[in-house]
Structure 1
Amino acid sequence: MGGFVTLVGNPRAGSRTRAAAIETARQVAGLTGLDTSGEIIDLAAFGPHLLSPVPSAVVEAALELAAGASVLVVACPTYKASYPGLLKAFLDRLPPNALAGTVALPLMVMGDPRHALAVEVHLRPVLVELGAAVPTPGLALPESELPSGLPDEPPTGVLTRWAALVAPQVTAALGRAVPA
């Protein structure tokens, strides 16, 4: 198994969702003693490849990377009270139990607090269906918590608190001792 892999399911390149996902991986990895190695699957560039009937080498490589992760941060915006079709198209290409042995951390950025349950009701079940262990509550991250400036400015305060909550559960799910 690999280390941390970050899967960004936002159709927009350079999104604030991407920045939040990368910061999540960095913070949780730091607290668990795992390497983040910088492996990022950003689906913004994959749209035409995901929907093509012809197999794509770039998509196949991304699927292998996701399936080989020890910890997979899955981040996306909330679209129509659920996750985007782009992420669904990617996840649908994974075979049954492809994420067995992987700890998944779901994160959804939402415009309206009424969508806070989407991370638990929609994203968590598909990750579990693919065999992932999801030992922590998902993070429903309100857009209001994101910096209004550049997309690469992560919401460190919110993520720091969430990372501290979930890191012990991640290390337990991986069967490792929590770093001192």
Structure 2
Amino acid sequence: MVDVVTLAGSPAPRSTTAVLLEHSKAVLERHSLVVKSMSVRDIPPEELIGQAQFSPAVRHYTQLIRQAGALIVATPIYKDTYAELLRAWLNLLPAGVLRNTLVLPIITGSSARTEAQIYADLAARFRQLGAKHIIPSLFAAEQQIQLTATKSQPRIHRHLEERLGLALDTIAQQLGVLPLAAVA
């Protein structure tokens, strides 16, 4: 059984979106939630380009999402839109896959000026996939996340961490566990 699935929309192996998802996973796992991580890199490029909806990889990830109570999708902003690989990845999912799933979009970028439009685009796509419950997006400015040269713990700005904590509280409450702040 999977409680939460995270999906990293950045093609980079180490990115601000991946850091936020790793942090989210660690927080949710402290509350005994089962969290599975995915990335747009997990589906071979030829399957993304060919829209191979019935490939073993796509079927596997679709099944994980169907089982989950929540999906956290993190994407960077590229040229005023979300990542094209994420768009291709979401296009492989069948209609209705998010019917019973709470969705949290996390958007990272250098400026929040296009965040509202990107959230609207993502929310529309999530609704096409059946989502009824979409948490308002969480915007993270890239300067709020300091990646380190090594795999050591990156630094997340206090205000961003607080906002992320509130969003994760919402997920925890919807999945029937105590709010994260109440347990800390």
By the TM > 0.5 criterion, same fold?
A: yes
The separation in 2 between residues aligned to 1:151 and 1:12, in whole angstroms, is 15
2: distance between equivalents of 1:109 and 1:34?
27
Query: 2:41 aligned with 1:40, yes or no?
Result: no
List runs of 5+ in structure 2 lacking aligned partners: none
Task: Name the structure with the higher strand share.
Answer: 2
Q: Secondary structure in 2 aligned to 1:2?
A: coil
Query: Match for residue 15 of structure 2?
Result: 15
**Change over 3 Å in CA distance of 1:138–1:26 after alignment to 2:** farther
- Corresponding position: 1:162 with 2:163: yes
Structure 1 residue 83 and structure 2 residue 93: aligned?
no
- Identity rate, percent: 24
How many residue pairs match? The answer is 176
- Any conservation in 1 of the 2:28–2:172 contact (CA below 8 Å)? no
CA contact (8 A) 2:71 2:102 kept: yes
- TM-score where L is the length of structure 1: 0.81
Consecutive unaligned residues of structure 1, counting only runs of 5 or more, are none
State which drifts further: 124-133 or 45-54. Answer: 45-54
Match of 1:132 in 2: 131
CA shift digits 1:106-141 (9 cap, x unpaired): 001112231231442222221122122434221111
Cα distance in structure 2, aligned partners of 1:21 and 1:148: 13
1:67 is displaced (CA, Å) by 2.6
TM-score, normalised to structure 2's length? 0.80
Change over 3 Å in CA distance of 1:151–1:40 after alignment to 2: farther
Indicate conservation of the 8 Å contact 2:24/2:168, yes or no: no
**Structure 2 CA distance for partners of 1:15 and 1:167, relative to 1, 3 Å:** closer
